[in-house]
Amino acid sequence: MKTMTMVGGNIDKKILTKCLHKARKMINFTKFRCKHFSFIVRKNKIVSIGYNQQYKTHPIAAKYGHRFCSIHSEIHAISNYKYDLSECKIINIRLDQWGNMKCSRPCEFCEKLINDNMLKCIYSNEDGFYEFN
């Protein structure tokens, strides 16, 4: 079973701040009430960005059992990055319509996608960032 812990010293806080800043700049990219953004980070550099999209789908979504007519931000970010994911992390951020952080823990389908790609997952919550162990 996966556990969550508050992000500690093993990730650069600057990259978390940069991802949050970028997510707030992109808040109007998606029409959903809560906006989800995923950042693939390799060596403290953002290499891919994804956001939730309505009325679209992707073959990866079907492969992992996602049955809704939307693309989750994790799928969007992972499908945009065409290189080896082995040294990467995925940072998920969910914002409400005013730009406040909310819980962005991946759904069960995206969690399986993340695990299959051996990505370390860091996600936002109302009180900070957490990571799966």
Those residues whose C-beta lies under 8 Å from the C-beta of residue 125, and which sit 6 or more positions away, are 101, 102, 103, 104, 105
| Domain 4-125 class, CATH top level | alpha beta
Query: pLDDT, tens digit, for every residue of 74-92?
Result: 989 998 999 999 889 999 9
pLDDT tens profile 89-122? 999 999 998 999 999 999 888 898 899 888 889 9
Per-residue pLDDT at 68:
67
pTM assigned to the model: 0.85
β-partners of residue 53 are 71
Return the domain boundaries, the chain.
Answer: 4-125
Paired tokens of 1: 């079973």
- pLDDT at position 6 is 54
pLDDT in tens, 32-44: 777 999 999 999 9
pLDDT digits (tens, 9 = 90+) for 14-31: 999 999 999 999 998 877
Dist CA 101 CA 57 (whole Å): 26
User: Which amino acid makes up residue 116?
Assistant: D
* Residue 108, pLDDT score: 87
